[in-house]
Amino acid sequence: MILKADKPVALCSDHAGYATKQAVIAYLEQAGIAYKDFGTYSEESCDYPDFAHKCAEAVESGECYPGIGICGTGEGVCMTLNKHQGIRAGLCWKPEIAALTREHNDANVLVMPGRFISNEEALEITKTFLSTEFAGGRHQRRIDKIPLK
**Torsion sign, CA atoms 48, 56, 77, 22:** negative
Q: Indicate the residue among 34 and 49 with the shorter CB distance to ligand RB5.
A: 49
Separation between Cα atoms, residue 102 and residue 48, nearest integer Å: 24
Annotated catalytic residue, options 46, 53, 104, 139: 104
User: How many chain residues touch ligand RB5 (CB under 6 A)?
Assistant: 8
Query: Looking at 12, 55, 64, 71, which residue is catalytic?
Result: 71
Say whether residue 71 binds ligand RB5 (CB under 6 A): yes
- 39 near ligand RB5 (CB under 6 A): no
Binding mask 41-70 for ligand RB5 (x = CB under 6 A): -------x----------------------
71 is a catalytic site residue: yes
List the one residue out of 108, 89, 130, 119 whose CA is nearest residue 18.
119
Selected binder of ligand RB5 within 72, 98, 106, 107 (CB under 6 A): 72
Instruction: With CA atoms as reference, report the closest residue to 116 among 94, 88, 141.
Output: 94
CA gap 89, 72 in Å, rounded: 16
* Residue 46 known to be catalytic: no
Angle between helices 119-131 and 95-103 (to 10 degrees): 20
Q: Hey, which residues are catalytic here?
A: 71, 104
> What are the residues binding ligand RB5 (CB under 6 A)?
14, 16, 48, 71-73, 75-76
